[in-house]
Amino acid sequence: MVLLAAGPGAADMAFVTNQSSSDLSVIDLGEGTEIRRIDVPGNPAGVAIDHVGAAVFTVSPETATVTRAPLTGAGAATSLLLAGQPIGVAVDSPRRRAFVSDWDNARIWVIDADRMQLLDELPTGGAPAGLAVSPDGRWLACADRDADQVSIFDAETLALAHRTATGTRPFGITFDPQGRLYTADVGSDTVSVIDPQTGAVLGQTPTGARPYAVAFAGGRGFVTNQYDDTVTVFDTETRLPAALIEVGEYPEGIDAAPDGRHVYVANWFSNSVSVIDTETLQVVGAIATGDGPRAFGRFVAAMPAKE
């Protein structure tokens, strides 16, 4: 299947890390095609978009590097070598900071997003994975997989605010538009919902086998289930499952279009991105990528509208 163009002025792009081919697929989501491929050594997995800096950050665990590349492809990429095993990345664009989780050493690196220099380190629980910054910029959250918890920091001061127990082995982590925090708990087949202000767990939603990451559109959550080749859809207010959508093989990274009309799923074993219509909850397209797309993080960028 091929996604039809989204309409005049549509210019959203996806930046999908391909771990097995060590590169980045740049996809025009309006046209539904890959338009270029960028070499990223070291089996990249983590990804984040910096809209203020017009850049995409990728993390390569094998070479222990974080790389910053321009969204437009014009200009050189810069990299920073880190002493550990980086995996997840998030960007606090207004404060010009990037955060990278260190799987081996239970910490988050704080990096100057422009100069690509190390600024600080924040302690976490064991095997920190996914990172997220809240929509209002108040909170930084980290999924501490081996500690079965999240660490929540004040994003301004970087002081620890809460450590909150989740389901078993949280991996992907995302804030919804209302500012609630969600973890994909790969060991208990649940999504945990947390109030970052109080650190309280608000509830849990059952998923398919081995949930990996969560995205939001139209008042619903969308969860990739690695072992089921599906996406669980749930209502964010009732936290009840609403649908189960079949996608490609071994779905992992997931993100939503800025207008909420589509959700995009990176299928690691299918070398594709599935496109879900968020109104009909049907797969309406599949876009070819490089080998082994992971797209762990926020990988959809709103670009300037086409003339």
What total of structural domains would you count in the chain? 1
Examine residue 70 and state whether it is found in any structural domain, yes or no: yes
CB 224 within 8 A of CB 246: no
Is residue 223 one of the residues assigned to a domain?
no
In a domain, 113, yes or no: yes
- Edge-to-edge strand list for the sheet holding 282-288: 251-256, 262-267, 272-277, 282-288
Q: How far apart are CA 114 and CA 5, in angstroms?
A: 34
DSSP-derived secondary structure letter, 147? G
Indicate the pairing of strand 46-50 with strand 296-297. Answer: parallel
Taking only the tens of pLDDT, the chain with its 307 residues reads 334 434 434 479 999 999 999 999 999 999 999 999 999 999 999 999 999 999 999 999 999 999 999 998 778 899 999 999 999 999 999 999 999 999 999 999 999 999 999 999 999 999 999 999 999 999 999 999 999 999 999 999 999 999 999 999 999 999 999 999 999 999 999 999 999 999 999 999 999 999 999 999 999 999 999 999 999 999 999 999 999 999 999 999 999 999 999 999 999 999 999 999 999 999 999 999 999 999 999 999 987 654 4
Q: What is the CATH number of the domain that holds 129?
A: 2.130.10.10
Per the domain annotation, does 95 fall within a domain? Answer: yes
Q: Name the residue range of residue 159's domain.
A: 13-206+296-301
Give the C-alpha separation, 260 to 300, whole Å: 11
Residue 60 domain-assigned (yes or no)? yes
- The answer as to whether 6 is a domain residue is no
d(CA 143, CA 126): 9
> Within a domain: residue 96?
yes
DSSP 3: P
Which helix (H) or strand (E) segment is 224 a member of? strand 220-225
